[in-house]
Chain A
Amino acid sequence: MKTTQTIFQDGDHKWVAIVRDPGRQDYLIDTNEYLVTHSGQGLLVDPGGLEIFPAVFSAVATEFDPSAIAAVFASHQDPDVISSLALWLEFNPQMRCYISWLWASFIPHFGGNASTFSAIPDEGAAISVGGLSLQAVPAHYLHSSGNFHLYDRTAKVFFSGDVGAALLPSEQQDLFVKDFSAHIRHAEGFHRRWMGSNEAKRQWCERISQLDIDILCPQHGALYQGKDVQRFIDWFDTLHVGVLRG
């Protein structure tokens, strides 16, 4: 089972990170899922792959009634992000799925029907969770061509999908980045290879620097907190991406 860690709480407004699955098979990439709750409603952020559904479901259940999850947010179309959709929908057919309009007709191959999807336009959109307004922030080509991050202005938490991801050695179990320069070595190859556009990256760094962010939450690896958030943005800004090797 995965572990849950509350990374933000103010009354019933919460961000819960669902991380580190000791039972996960080595051939599956390790992922972080996030649960945002407000006024008794939940939004599951990048709910993860089919195979890890039991681990994510049970972790969620320790924190929150899974039937109160009203929607899932999928940053992009990858299987590690959203291939569990059919199972979540079977558990709760009313659940909605927010995803880029670009993928709205592709994701039903994983599950769902015409009434399941809320297609996010390229410029982004507001997503409400129990009256709390979250912002889907455009991050196209980082890495997917229809890609969104999720910003909670109130909690100052920013979910950054595959941006900020690090493929950490298994002995590194810390939730937050402890030593930025040691950590970022595990992120470099990933960002060079997976991020496709230097121009998109430049614009993203500029826009995200303007936001007030306490915690930056990637889909893989440790979370960035405090000064490490801007450190990461600066590092990413100077990194040359879209490189096959090197």
Chain B
Amino acid sequence: MTEQLTVAAGIEPKGSALDLLHIVRINEEIKAVVAVAFKINIMALNAIFLAKRAGTAALGFGVLSNELRSFSGQLRETMLSLNGLIHASVGEVSVLLLDSRYSSIFSAAAALVPASARLRSVIERREARTAEYRAKLSVLRRSLRSSVEDAFRLVELGGVLAKSAKIEAAYGASFSVSLSQVSGEFDGIVEEIRGSLDTLRKSRFFRG
């Protein structure tokens, strides 16, 4: 994954603009995980067929492959539900971006015309609304964060399944080499997802 989003030299995004950059990064990570979850699904399907051919020697492996397949489905769903939250966060952050631009223009006007009571009330109204937008965004921030945690726990379970499949592969008699290879791939991919989700939970968006 790409860590660095390039911004024009000398322009440091801050506030809502920085939030937007973080959300974009989170979204890219989610897309990557969804793609990999789909890959696990295909791999698990192949593993199920392989276990069938291996017969009784690979019964345990077959059960785990089935579990991994439903894990990939669940993971995909969890990640897609994150999409909805991402969408809503982008909406809220965009509102705040425009809001802060307008607010700063109004403050500049008020500094020039301090006597205008009407201008002051516009600014007060804005401040109240800004607080509302911020509150909405922090609710979204928390939901997103707890969904990412849910996904992380799910992937830890996937990791256990992949590791058990590795052990089961050893009992696969003449199939054990190919079963080991498949379970090794599972393990690698689940670790990859784990890494992605770990990056996600540490996103600076959640610290905002």
Q: Which residues of A contact B (CB under 8 A)?
A: 1, 50-51, 53-55, 57-58, 61, 66-67, 86-87, 90-92
Contacts and interface: CB of A to CB of B under 8 A. Distances in A.
Interface in B102-119: 102, 105-106, 108-109, 111-113, 116, 118-119
A61 B116 CA distance: 8
B122 interface: yes
Given A53-B105, A86-B102, A66 B116 contact: yes
Contacts of B108: 54
Interface residues on B, range: 10 to 19
Given A90-B122, A91-B122, A51 B116 contact: no
A110 to B, nearest CB: 12
A67 B118 contact: yes
Interface of B: 102, 105-106, 108-109, 111-113, 116, 118-119, 122, 126
A58 B111 CA distance: 9
Contacts of B122: 90-91
A-B CB proximity, top 8 nearest: A58-B112, A54-B108, A54-B109, A61-B113, A57-B109, A58-B113, A53-B105, A67-B118
Given A86-B102, A87-B102, A90-B102, A58 B109 contact: yes
A92 B125 CA distance: 13
B111 to A, nearest CB: 8
A54 B102 CA distance: 11
Contacts of B111: 54
Contacts of B113: 57-58, 61
Contacts of A53: 105, 109
20 contacts: A50-B105, A51-B105, A53-B105, A55-B112, A57-B109, A57-B112, A57-B119, A58-B109, A61-B116, A66-B118, A66-B119, A87-B102, A87-B105, A87-B106, A90-B106, A90-B122, A90-B126, A91-B118, A91-B119, A92-B118
